[in-house]
Amino acid sequence: MRTPRIVVMAGSSRRDALSRRIAAACAGPLQAAGADVKLVELADYPAPLYNGDLEAESGLPPGIVELQQVLHACDGLLVVNPEYNGSITPLLKNTLDWCSRPNAADGARSGGAVYAGRAAAVIGTSPGALGGMRVLFHVRDILGYLGMQVIPQQLAIGHADNALGEDGRLRNEAQRAALDALAAALADTARRLRG
């Protein structure tokens, strides 16, 4: 069977974002599950706030066109997201919205084609005890609406500011086991959907 390609992205581009640190910690478990992993920094794919008039006048931002190609080449997506007022970050929502738009110059690798039929999983992070639990449902709904197969396994990492050890892995044994299970399920689902 082919090695599944998984994109991992954090919903925040803040330099010290906990979600970025946790996203990096997800690479090892995914690789152990047999996946090829690409860590994506959303700051590398800048885009203005989505506006239909702007799209009509200027087309898609170059960074979005590039990210569409990255997403189209993947078999699965893992989103690690902080919770902003109980919901998704504006950065992630804006990025998902822009990437959902068709590109007349590359219709096969844009719009809905970058999401459809691919596996997805969601992790929430928070310095609080709930671990961004409320954001999980919002991100799951959006990814499902975009045509992704969102796996049942999910993880809310509370006290994320102290979640990682010096080795870059989750300190908590139960969280580590849950991440390993999520990674295995995501890799397996991506392999079966796209193999």
- In tens digits, what is the pLDDT along the chain, a chain of 195 residues? 689 999 999 999 999 999 999 999 999 999 999 999 999 999 999 999 999 999 999 999 999 999 999 999 999 999 999 999 999 999 999 999 999 999 999 999 999 999 999 999 999 999 998 888 999 999 999 999 999 999 999 999 999 999 999 999 999 999 999 999 999 999 999 999 987
* Angle, helix 62-72 to helix 90-99, in steps of 10 degrees: 80
Residues 6+ apart with CB under 8 A from 149: 117, 118, 119, 120, 189, 193
* Separation in Å, CA 93 to CA 58, 79, 139, 153, 179: 20, 12, 9, 21, 24
> Cα–Cα distance between 119 and 101 in angstroms, integer?
20
- Residues 195 and 33: their CA atoms lie apart, in Å, by 15
On whether the CB atoms of residues 22 and 163 are closer than 8 A, the answer is yes
121 phi and psi, to 5 degrees? Answer: -145, 160
Beta-carbon count within 10 A of 71 CB: 22
| Token pair listed for 45 | 């794919």
Per-residue pLDDT, 2: 84
Structural domains in the chain, sorted by start: 5-194 (3.40.50.360)
